[in-house]
């Protein structure tokens, strides 16, 4: 018998007027419009929904002046957590990125991204 932990999606109430559309470590310039920020947030929100459906906890973090991220936690092992970012790669396409600027998957493929994140955060490795 398995016990399913409570699921959550939380969006921080902190607001940002702009966000980077590049991976966190790329040093790329920030867009001047909120369109890039909105695209970024929409991708993170979509991924959060898929991850919550798989039993993980996901919380969008929007610190002032910084790139929004998705903090994902395995509720069965709280130490297993990662931050995920959405941003454009050098190829111009939107990708999900680990906090160390390694690509996860194209942002179009929410299921593949969720599967990879779930695998990394698995309690049994």
Taking only the tens place, the pLDDT of each residue in 13-68 is 333 222 333 344 333 334 445 788 899 999 999 999 999 999 999 999 999 989 99
What's the pLDDT band for 3 if we cut at 50, 70, 90? very low
What mean pLDDT is reported for the chain? 79
**pLDDT over 80 at 5, yes or no:** no
**pLDDT over 80 at 6, yes or no:** no
Across the chain, where does the E strand assignment appear? 9-11, 57-61, 69-73, 81-88, 94-98, 103-106
Q: For residue 62, give both structure tokens.
A: 């929007």
Q: Model pTM? A: 0.73
Cβ-based neighbours of 100, under 8 Å, separated by 6 or more: 25
Determine the pLDDT at residue 33. 54
d(CA 17, CA 92): 22
d(CA 104, CA 38): 20
Spans of all domains in the chain: 10-19+31-120
């Amino acid at each position: 018998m398995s016990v399913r932990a409570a699921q959550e999606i939380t969006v921080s109430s902190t607001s940002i007027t702009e966000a980077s559309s590049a991976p966190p470590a790329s040093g790329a310039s920030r867009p001047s419009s909120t369109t890039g920020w909105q695209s970024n947030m929409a991708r993170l929100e979509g991924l959060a929904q898929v991850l919550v459906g798989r039993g993980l906890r996901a919380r969008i973090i929007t610190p002032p002046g910084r790139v929004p991220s998705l903090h994902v936690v395995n509720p069965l092992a709280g130490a297993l957590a990662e931050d995920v970012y959405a941003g454009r790669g050098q190829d111009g396409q939107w990708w999900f990125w680990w906090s160390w600027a390694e690509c996860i998957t194209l942002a179009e493929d929410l299921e593949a991204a969720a599967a990879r994140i779930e695998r990394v955060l698995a309690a049994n490795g």
